[in-house]
Structure 1
């Protein structure tokens, strides 16, 4: 390896030169002597490939005719790990055009012809390194822009979640003891969705929309919603209407999460055995979003104090979910619920009403 001194247009870079003829390598080194570049020369293409993988050079020169691996094969190998670095093949002027075409197809950026001419060679190097610099700058800017977009998108999504949570809490405004119920339901639902292999788009929509599951309670009279003790048959019929009320509130929206919330509002009280409401759907006919929120909602409701009930013990609430797999709840989700015990405990403690 040879380092030269001095500055030349501010250009700095690492160059790899590959040729089975040491005299040719020495010629290239001498021609780059004044350009403040780091040059690493190889007579063995395999050793050059190993170096390229770890050093990520800014420019590569390769001869065509080499006994172990020709220049075209080398270029193909380099392109597997370095898709953008400029690669210059050095060939004889009278080489077959098919060789040059093959080199271009393999990923060669340019050609130089033997015998090399000092001035032309140095100008080509300057131009190719300038191209490389601009290439890397564009990559850096693109990566920075991508990070900025991702950050802005995350902020928008979190603001949207906050807005949806506030809308969801409107349904609980008259029942202050439910506290962080809707936040826990959103996080429980997300954990269940991820565990059963739903894609990220679905899981995100579920997370942002789950807080709207009881929005229809806004249309239920206080005398029923806040009644201490068990509802009679007529009162329960009115209470069940919160599912269809919620659907009607949300269904005509253009927003993705509000539409998703409409499906959740309508279906989260359906039961696996078909004895739920409002439409007595059963099994897989119940939207998966409603099935997931059903498990999360019931589990958290059991652990929350309400006007009509006391708070259940944790183990009793878990047992209720487990015993109702295939009855109230999707058995697959009950199995996921069993395996996510620690995750649910973390969520429960993170959004404990006593700590808020």
Structure 2
């Protein structure tokens, strides 16, 4: 074996030193041998930062038996793929059946035959290498697909912004706000990442709203508001139903980010926890950015007034528990607001910030006077 390629590691577990010595002698020329004389010591090695590539495991040992060690490892997602070969004096067909059903890839009886041990170890290490390479390729391909989907989602979110008259950085700011609220709320890393990458699609349904309504310079009449209220449904239909978590979350956000905690929102009038968590989080992020941002038709609401309004809507528009998370995340939210300030450049100019940090308007009902603008529906 080339000195540049490290030897594969084999853990030999047996309570009899003579058996360890024999197996070590058979394999030491080709592999790095590690040993354990008890189940407890074996588990410490396997759970270390340098786990073995294969385990040769005796069954009959004091304390933890080989079968119990195998069972424990097969229930651990990080270690269950390590191939285990039982090397034991228990030679009946029933013993072999139990060993293989427990999760071992092979079963060698004592006294061992060195050529058989070498051949079985070589075969199962080769299979394990192939399995790991396939997993690596799948992870890489999955990452590529996820990245492509994320880029499509961001671009579609940007398309909705071009359709409306909001500033381009709105989707960036509110996506980061949503991420920070989710983190403070205790949402898991994967779910938070999905939320961050799908929040830009929240208003994709505006693509389906006629310009005569969306960009109308005056107040909307009742019929026009009726059409405007359909943009969450349009957004959900544009995205469509998917089994993929990323796209399904985008659909849920588009459909539910205008629902309100007290049931007075739209389009479904959902109430409380009947509103999906993602929609509740995005609602807070979206409205806050609308309040504190300048628009062609309004000046930004002073921060203290905006925060007072947000607080007043806990239990009315917003989930009270999520509002606590919003307040806890506020220092970081304000930092994001500065980084992605509209005067710093457009969406295209600022996209590089995404990797550095992580890789609105509504119906006039119940909003401060400054938001009661004709197309105020995000």
Higher mean C-alpha deviation, range 311-320 or range 182-191: 182-191
In 2, the alpha carbon distance for the partners of 1:90 and 1:132 equals 18
In 2, the alpha carbon distance for the partners of 1:325 and 1:125 equals 67
Unaligned regions of 5+ residues in structure 1, if any? Answer: none
Q: For the Cα contact (< 8 Å) 2:195–2:249, is it kept in 1? A: no
Task: Find the counterpart in structure 1 of residue 87 from structure 2.
Answer: 89
In 2, the alpha carbon distance for the partners of 1:329 and 1:238 equals 27
In 1, the alpha carbon distance for the partners of 2:255 and 2:59 equals 70
Pick the aligned partner of 1:74 from 37, 62, 66.
Answer: 66
In 2, the alpha carbon distance for the partners of 1:112 and 1:326 equals 68
Cα pair distance change 1:351/1:242, threshold 3 Å: farther
Task: Find the counterpart in structure 2 of residue 314 from structure 1.
Answer: 303
Aligned length: 325
Q: For the Cα contact (< 8 Å) 1:213–1:261, is it kept in 2? A: no
Unaligned regions of 5+ residues in structure 2, if any? Answer: 74-78, 346-378
Task: Find the counterpart in structure 2 of residue 342 from structure 1.
Answer: 331
Q: Residues 145-156 of structure 1: matches in 2 within 5 Å?
A: 145-156=137-148
In 2, the alpha carbon distance for the partners of 1:259 and 1:89 equals 48
Task: Find the counterpart in structure 2 of residue 49 from structure 1.
Answer: 42
Q: Residues 1-356 of structure 1: matches in 2 within 5 Å?
A: 14=10, 16=12, 18=14, 20=16, 22=18, 32=26, 35-39=29-33, 44-45=37-38, 49=42, 52-53=45-46, 56=52, 58-60=54-56, 62=58, 64=60, 68=62, 73-78=65-70, 80-81=72-73, 83=80, 84-91=82-89, 98-106=94-102, 109-114=106-111, 121-172=113-164, 175=165, 178-193=167-182, 195-196=184-185, 200=191, 203=195, 207-212=199-204, 214-215=206-207, 218-221=210-213, 225-226=216-217, 231=219, 235-237=220-222, 240-241=225-226, 243-247=228-232, 249-250=234-235, 252-253=237-238, 255-256=240-241, 272=261, 281=269, 283-284=271-272, 287-288=275-276, 291-356=280-345
In 1, the alpha carbon distance for the partners of 2:252 and 2:41 equals 60
Shift of residue 124, structure 1, vs aligned partner:
0.8
Aligned-pair RMSD on alpha carbons? 4.4
Shift of residue 104, structure 1, vs aligned partner:
4.5
**Greater CA radius of gyration, 1 or 2?**
1
SS at match of 2:65: helix
Q: Scaled by the length of structure 2, what TM-score is found? A: 0.66
